[in-house]
Structure formats: structure tokens, C-alpha cells
Copies of this chain bind each other. A is one copy, B any other.
Amino acid sequence: MSTVKRVAIVGGTHGNERTGVQLIKKFELCPDYVRRSSFSTQVLLANPQAVAAGLRYIDRDLNRSFERDRLQNQTLTSYEDRRAKEISQVLGSDSSAPVDVILDMHSTTSNSGLTLIIDEENVFTLQLATYLQQIHSSVKIYSTSCSGRKQDALRSIARFGFCLEIGPVAQNVLNADLFQKTETLIHIILDYLEQYNRNEVTLLDRSLTLYRYLEAIDYPRNEYGEIQAMIHPQLQFNDYEALHPGDAMFLTFEGETISYSGTSVVYPVFINEAAYYEKGIAMCLTKKAQVIV
């Protein structure tokens, strides 16, 4: 890509993740906060009905509604299907002014800290991630390039899509500290894009640590689909920490420990995300990797 011309900052893709919703309101009131000289910035509250209802979604998960087939299927008329088509027409590749970059702000009940989710490991994306980690060393990079999220997420309709996952914070709660950290990350990324356009990016260290998606792990369930165990207290809030074969993973309601039965060290993320119970995901396992950008 020569230069970044259009950037969209998105919040409220999930209506009960208040951090992004409130930041969009702030940016709408004061567009100067997110204005930069070398590209245009637009802000979008993605799922206003879900925001008003304080729910993740009304009919279906908006952030799983952007597969090309769905967008082209006129028989799909749920609220989120209609909203996905509207958003795609405004921001997507078929729009008259497609955005180059989408920054989608999310929050999670898992201990994600400050996570940047990248769906592709191309040079542009990896350099941005490296810069972010250079400025803010606690930022974690979670690569979902093997998970299929490139196909269905809102951010997938831009050439380069990024997701900020900030946690832990309960659904429908504003945490001031995480609100400010999310805003800081948005500014760092906007500043980076400005530097990128001016060819002024300086990466002090070209080594990047990232966590690559391996597989999703469900809760133990009975024949009726009811969960039979909880995240083990030793694993709760331990996102991005090494989980070794034999380590405690779940605790049954009767107090019995279920251990990790894998054969290699993994790094779980999205541990105990509230919205993932219904998706059959207790956590996502990742592999820690070092790449040279």
C-alpha cells in the first residue's frame, strides 16, 4: 500500500462492550481527537440497537456476519445481517470510498490486558504491531491468521483490519483505567499511520513476539450440552501464561481438577470470556512465536 487514505474507528460492534461505545461518543463529539493530517478518519457505532439494549447483539453476532456470501445473500434479513450490509456498503471494498484500515475496539471478561488482534501476518500489519509494542511494551499481539476470523469479522471488510481487545472488564461496565488505555492505543496507532504516510517510521527492534491461534477448547459438557466444570482457579486470569501438560485446566462443580492433556506448552487466551460460553469456547490455545519483521 502506498499511503493510508481512509481510516475507520469502530466501537459497539458488540453492544455490551461499553469502552468502545463511549470512545465513539467521545470522538463523535470531538472529531479533532482522531483527526490526522495525512488521512481521513471516520468513527462508527456499529450496532446501535444492541448498544441501546445493552446486549452483545439483537439477532446474531454482528462480528460473525461479514462473510462475503452472507453480505450478498438478500434473503438474510436479521438486524445484524442488514447492519452488516449497510456497514459494508459504507466502508467496504464495494463502497465509493473504501477504508484502508479499520480499528475495531472490543473488551473482554478475560484477562487480555492490552491485546491487538491481527488476522494476517503481512508486512504492514506486523510493522504496525511491532511499533505498538515498541511504544507500549505490555501490548500483546494475538494472531488469528489460522482461525478463519479474517472471513467473518467486521474488520475483515477493510484491506487492513485490527481489533483491540482490552480486559478484564465485565460486560456493560466502564472501567476508567481501561477506557484511557484503549484511547491511548488508538492514538498510538493513528500516529503510526501518520508516520507511515510520511515514510518516517522507525522500528528500534525488528523482533516481534506474537501468539498464534491453535485451537479453541470447550468446557466439559454432558449429553445435554450443559457445562460440567469451570475454569480452574489456577488458570483463571492467566491469559498469555504458559500452560504445561498436566497443569490444572478445569474444576468440576464437585471440586475435581481436570488437567490439560496436551503434549506441548501452549498459551491460552480468552480464558472465561462471558460471550463465548454459547460459542462453546472456554479458551483459545495459542503458540508463542518470535518473528523478525
Chain A residues within CB distance 8 Å of chain B: 22, 25-26, 54, 109, 168-177, 179-180, 226-227, 230-233, 236, 251, 253-255, 272, 274-275, 277-278
Residues of B near A177 (CB, < 8 A) are 233, 236
Q: A26-B254, A171-B171, A174-B231 are in contact. List 20 more A-B contacts (CB 8 A).
A: A22-B253, A54-B278, A109-B170, A109-B173, A168-B170, A169-B170, A170-B173, A171-B274, A172-B274, A172-B275, A175-B230, A176-B231, A176-B232, A176-B233, A176-B236, A176-B251, A177-B233, A179-B230, A179-B253, A180-B255
CB closest residue in chain B, given A252: B176
Choose among B175, B255, B272, B278 the residue that contacts A173 (Cβ–Cβ < 8 A): B272
B230 and A174 within 8 A (CB) = yes
Ranked 9 nearest A-B pairs via Cβ: A170-B170, A176-B230, A109-B170, A172-B274, A177-B233, A174-B230, A176-B251, A173-B274, A176-B233
Residues of B near A274 (CB, < 8 A) are 170-173
Residues of B near A277 (CB, < 8 A) are 172
Residues of B near A255 (CB, < 8 A) are 180
A171 and B170 within 8 A (CB) = yes
A274–B231 Cα distance when bound, in Å, is 22
Residues of B near A278 (CB, < 8 A) are 54
Residues of B near A170 (CB, < 8 A) are 109, 168-171, 173, 274
Residues of B near A179 (CB, < 8 A) are 230, 253
A274–B107 Cα distance when bound, in Å, is 14
